[in-house]
Amino acid sequence: MNIDPRPSVISERLSGVGRVIAVTGWKGGIGKSVTASALALLLARKGFKTGLFDLDFAGASSHLILGARGLFPKEEKGLEPPLIAGVKYMSVVFFSENKAVPLRGANVSDAIIELLAITQWGELDFLVLDMPPGINDAALDIMRFIPRAEVLAVTTPSVIARDVLDRSLALYRRLKLPVLGVIENMSPSRSPRAGRIRPDPALEKAMGRPAALLKTEFARDLDRCVSSIFGKM
């Protein structure tokens, strides 16, 4: 009987990581990837050793948000993520040549498990995961192989988005997956409140420029969210 050694390898690869934050969302266009990317940048700016892992095979976009052009992992007994704006960065896009990946079902899960097993993060305070959308095999596999990951959910004020969020969170809780909190992006609230991010028309122009992204109202609101959810850092 063949026994897959990768689960034990994944545990070893993550042995030097303090906390794993899985940023997830269950609808498209809600700002999951920009939230994950900006969160990693904010944590790095606060002085934490931080990594960002984009595992969204269907719509990897953190490389565009960070402006990660001309980067590729170094091969050294596995893959060592390149550094961008103080963040160790790994993405499925390194291997897809920025094209749609024609994988289905078990093949997606296998590819994600392989990436988790070959990536060497070293010592990190935080590893931020840009999760595959929804609650599917890929997302559940990630949570299965990284059981200590804490879920940070992103939603919008949309009635549909909130309904999907509530049903998805209920399932996560039934599966006993730890939910760290919920961030409401594009909130209509005029004043900043814990867990809410207001619309920022300047955000689009900051894409591809980490320093500019950190100066946006979006980043400032997210920083307040981080402080309220994580506590003082």
Whether this prediction's pTM lies above 0.85 is answered by yes
Q: What is the pLDDT of residue 105?
A: 63
In this prediction, residue 65 has a pLDDT band, given cuts at 50, 70 and 90, of very high
Q: In the chain, where are the structural domains located?
A: 6-230
Helix/strand/coil for 184: strand
83-to-44, 116, 205, 211 alpha-carbon distances in Å: 11, 18, 23, 14
Q: Which residue has the higher pLDDT, 173 or 154?
A: 154
Q: What is the pLDDT of residue 208?
A: 95
Q: What is the pLDDT of residue 56?
A: 84
- Rounded to whole angstroms, the maximal C-alpha distance in the chain is 60
Between CA 143 and CA 4 the distance in angstroms is 17
CB 156 within 8 A of CB 182: no
Determine the angle formed by the axes of helices 137-145 and 106-118, rounding to 10 degrees: 30
Options 2.60.40.1840, 3.40.50.2300, 3.40.50.300, 1.10.150.20; CATH of 6-230: 3.40.50.300
